[in-house]
Structures are given as C-alpha cells and as structure tokens.
C-alpha cells in the first residue's frame, strides 16, 4: 500500500466549477502537507503548504487537512482553463523526505 494515495483522474470540469482534489495518507506521523501543481512538460511547483489540521486559503485555492481521518483536500473555486494541470499532494514529518501521491490530472474546459 502506498503511503499517500490519490485518484489519478483525469478530472474534467467546466470553467467556473468548484474543484475538489483529495489525498489519503497512512502514516499518522506526517505533520506537514503540500500541494504541488505540475503543468505539462514542466516540473512541479509548490502551490499550498499547511501544517496541522484545518483550512488554509490563498485566493481561489483552499487546502484542508483532517488528521483524524488522514485526509487532505485542495479546493479550487471559479476554476479556469489555466488551472488545467496535474496536482500532486505531498506530506512529510520533520527530518524526513517528502512522500508524494501519484497526482490527479485536472482539465478545465472553457
């Protein structure tokens, strides 16, 4: 079993829709949670970074962590075609390496 699981998609939504991307993880020691966005033919880039349970908002993006259920979510409001990318969740505990999920491919259609 992988330590971090993600539905690979693809997830196709119309422009303006609210998008929900999700990950589950198995190691309760994980403390830090990240979302990376990867455009086609590019390297991943950090989108959101959270520590502990709760919500963190940045513009149209909201990251949510529920440590009790080991569940990580990324919400995108008013989705745009420019949001079309692969979204990778990642997590780690202090002193250890990042563990990535497999990524979810998102397509936002005009």
Partner 1 sequence: DADVTQTPRNRITKTGKRIMLECSQTKGHDRMYWYRQDPGLGLRLIYYSFDVKDINKGEISDGYSVSRQAQAKFSLSLESAIPNQTALYFCATSEQTDNEQFFGPGTRLTVL
By CB under 8 A, name the binding residues for partner 1.
Answer: 4, 6, 8, 32, 34, 41-46, 49, 88, 92, 97-98, 100-103
Tell the smallest beta-carbon distance from residue 102 to partner 1 (Å): 4
Nearer residue to partner 1 within complex by CB, 65 or 88: 88
Nearer residue to partner 1 within complex by CB, 41 or 59: 41
The torsion defined by the Cα of 108, 67, 30 and 8, in degrees rounded to 10, comes to -30
- Reference 91, options 39, 58, 49; nearest CA is 49
Structure tokens that stand for 51 in this block = 């520590």
Give CA–CA dist 85/37, Å, rounded: 7
Tell the smallest beta-carbon distance from residue 89 to partner 1 (Å): 9
Tell the smallest beta-carbon distance from residue 97 to partner 1 (Å): 6
Nearer residue to partner 1 within complex by CB, 2 or 77: 2
HSE of 8 in the Cβ direction (CA atoms, 13 Å)? 1
């Amino acid at each position: 079993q992988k330590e971090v699981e993600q539905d690979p998609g693809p997830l196709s939504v119309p422009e303006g829709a609210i998008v929900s991307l999700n990950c589950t993880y198995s190691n309760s020691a994980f403390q830090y949670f990240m979302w990376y966005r990867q455009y086609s033919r590019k390297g991943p880039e950090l989108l959101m970074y959270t520590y502990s349970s709760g919500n963190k908002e940045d513009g149209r993006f909201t990251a949510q962590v529920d440590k009790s259920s080991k569940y990580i979510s990324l919400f995108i409001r008013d989705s745009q075609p420019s949001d079309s990318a692969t979204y990778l969740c990642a997590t780690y505990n202090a002193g250890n390496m990042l563990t990535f999920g497999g990524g979810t491919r998102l397509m936002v259609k005009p």
